[in-house]
Amino acid sequence: MTAVGIDAIEIRAGKTRLDLPGTFAERKGEDPEKYTKGLGLHASSFPDVYEDIVTMAANASKRLMDRKGLQPDDIGRIDVATESAFDNSKPVSTYVAGCLEQVYDGDFNHANKGERKFACIAGTQSLNDAYNWISAGRNRGRAALVIATDTALYERNEPGEATQGAGAVAMLVDEDPSLVELSAQQGFGSADETDFLKPNQQFPSVDGKRSMQVYLARMREAMEDFASAEGDVNPEHFAYIPFHTPFPGMVRKAALLGYRNGIRDTDIEDALAEEIGHQPRREAFDDDESYREALSEYADALAKTDRYGEWYDAVIEPTLDISRHVGNWYTGSVHIARVSALKRAADEGRDLVGERLLVGSYGSGAQAEIHAETVCEGWLEEIEALNIDEQLDARYELSFEEYEMTHDAHNHDDEGEYDELTVPSDEFAFDGWGRMGERKYRYVS
Ligand code: HMG
């Protein structure tokens, strides 16, 4: 079977930056360490007034198409995953195609376009749709453009405000990929949950603490399902394990759960038993509560072992490098975690060809998915072509008042006029409203 996977990735961050332990914590009267140590966040990226989910998606896609020498004819499918859409009918992918058609010869008339919704997991679902389309042989030699784009904004003065962010990830999915080949096996954990939702409203209703429990429960189920499909969830068999990252502190919890589950009945569990005993087994307990308490004690002890610490520093920590400086990008978050890890490997001169990643995606509402990927021959060239460090360094630093203005400017119910903080150049920018209430865009040279 032909290999199918991600051939190239481009990332577009919102052009402004909010310092969380500094500007934000200070104004909220909070300890900066809640951000740096607790949540694991240093900054959030925000869109300037003329940026939105379409401009970020189109700018990432244009850079990707230019870099890969693609024309619209080469793309047979454009899927956008987002939970920040502003239209219940016309998909964001049509706006993105419209933007790109301003700057390329040709058009996307024969490309199938759509929009995927399932909170943050929709980005991975779109990736899977593209994989299935190509694997089924329906692509006629063309590639799929998969874009995850979001402005992750919460109501002001709600706890979620600490974990905001904005950015887009554009991925080219193709045969014989240069970056990673996707595995056919998947594991799912899915249940009807109401921990985070937006019932016809822009900002989410969130039960923050519960959302974290739901994330962990679905992720555990997905791992079990994946193990039953593929058999190998041994955490030490993977070079990196990128998880959906609403904030790095969440991944700290997910990684511990994943490691504990993954080493069950393995030599690793036996090797650790001298130090911390074996994992508790349900049959040894009279009730669920005492079993859960014992599991939690075991997990606390596990987290303190050298073996776990070394594994975490090597396999998980590198996935968080970008997230710490941009916050939650919802649909894009797990995809920047993958890039983050590959970037770290490139910086360290590590040869990753043939190594495997285990990818843990998640969306509230709620569903988790696990799949494996194999790093391809061209990964280094692809990763070295990214300009994410330059983008992050060039961001405009927001004062607290400018942050509030930015939040208002992107509030769909706010009709105020706001001044731009940066000057658009060589990029797509929002250009006002059309006669049917559509958003308009232009390429600013
Ligand atoms: P909060 O009340 O602001 O924060 O809510 P907290 O008081 O719980 O503190 C956060 C962490 O910092 C805790 O760590 C504190 O102990 C620690 P933990 O106990 O959990 O390990 N902390 C400190 N550490 C060191 N020094 C200090 C200090 N102070 C506190 N001084 C919450 C945090 C995440 C609940 C909130 O921000 C929120 O509601 N966020 C939005 C929901 C969310 O992100 N949920 C994550 C799981 S659901 C998900 O990932 C899906 C999502 O991406 C949406 C989608 O799928 O579409 C959100």
Given pLDDT bands bounded at 50, 70 and 90, which one contains residue 207?
very high
CA-nearest residue for atom 19, ligand 1, is 38
Exposed e or buried b for every residue in 224-256, given b needs 16+ CB within 10 A?
ebbbeebeebbbeebbbbbbbbbbbbbbbbbbb
* Per-residue pLDDT tens over the stretch 417-445: 999 999 999 999 999 999 999 999 999 99
Q: Is the per-residue pLDDT at 251 higher than 90?
A: yes
pLDDT at position 97 is: 98
Q: Is the per-residue pLDDT at 232 higher than 90?
A: no
What distance in Å separates the CA atoms of residue 214 and residue 217, rounded to the nearest whole number?
5
Catalytic residue among 10, 51, 83, 427: 83
Tell me if residue 120 is catalytic: yes
Q: Residues 85, 90, 96, 98: is their CA dihedral positive or negative?
A: negative
CA atoms within 13 A on the CB side of 208: 12
pLDDT at position 230 is: 75
Other C-beta atoms lying within 10 Å of the C-beta of residue 127: 27
Kindly state the average pLDDT of the residues 158-178.
98
Q: Supply 64's token pair.
A: 């990707």
Atom of ligand 1 nearest to the CA of 212: 47
Sheet architecture: strand order including 143-152: 112-116, 75-81, 143-152, 165-175, 4-13, 180-190, 367-375, 356-363
Q: Which domains does the chain have, with CATH numbers?
A: 4-444 (3.40.47.10)
pLDDT at position 61 is: 99
In angstroms, the first-to-last Cα distance of the chain is 43
Q: Which of 196, 245, 247 most suits a substitution to test ligand 1, by most atoms within 8 Å of the C-beta?
A: 196
Which residue is listed with tokens 């232009």? 442
* Per-residue pLDDT tens over the stretch 45-59: 999 999 999 999 999
Residue 235 C-alpha to ligand 1 middle, in angstroms?
A: 25
* Per-residue pLDDT tens over the stretch 254-310: 999 999 999 999 999 999 999 999 999 999 999 999 999 999 999 999 999 999 999
Q: What is the pTM of this model?
A: 0.97
Given pLDDT bands bounded at 50, 70 and 90, which one contains residue 1?
confident
Amino acid letter, 263: I
CA-nearest residue for atom 42, ligand 1, is 208
Given pLDDT bands bounded at 50, 70 and 90, which one contains residue 201?
very high
pLDDT at position 3 is: 97
Kindly state the average pLDDT of the residues 127-140.
98
Q: Is the per-residue pLDDT at 231 higher than 90?
A: no
Given pLDDT bands bounded at 50, 70 and 90, which one contains residue 44?
very high
Q: Supply 247's token pair.
A: 């904030």
CA-nearest residue for atom 54, ligand 1, is 364
Residue 163 C-alpha to ligand 1 middle, in angstroms?
A: 8
Amino acid letter, 217: A
* Per-residue pLDDT tens over the stretch 66-92: 999 999 999 999 999 999 999 999 999
Is residue 162 a contact partner of residue 24, using CB atoms and an 8 Å limit?
A: yes
* Per-residue pLDDT tens over the stretch 345-368: 999 999 999 999 999 999 999 999
- Report residues whose beta carbon is within 6 angstroms of any ligand 1 atom: 31, 33-34, 37-39, 83, 119-120, 159-160, 162-163, 196, 206, 208-209, 211-212, 215, 244, 246, 249-250, 328, 330, 362-364
Task: Tell me the average pLDDT of the chain.
Answer: 97
Residue 203 burial by CB count (10 A; 0-12/13-18/19+): exposed, middle or buried? middle
Exposed e or buried b for every residue in 173-193, given b needs 16+ CB within 10 A?
bbbebbbbbbbeebbbbbeeb
Kindly state the average pLDDT of the residues 147-155.
98
Residue 196 C-alpha to ligand 1 middle, in angstroms?
A: 13
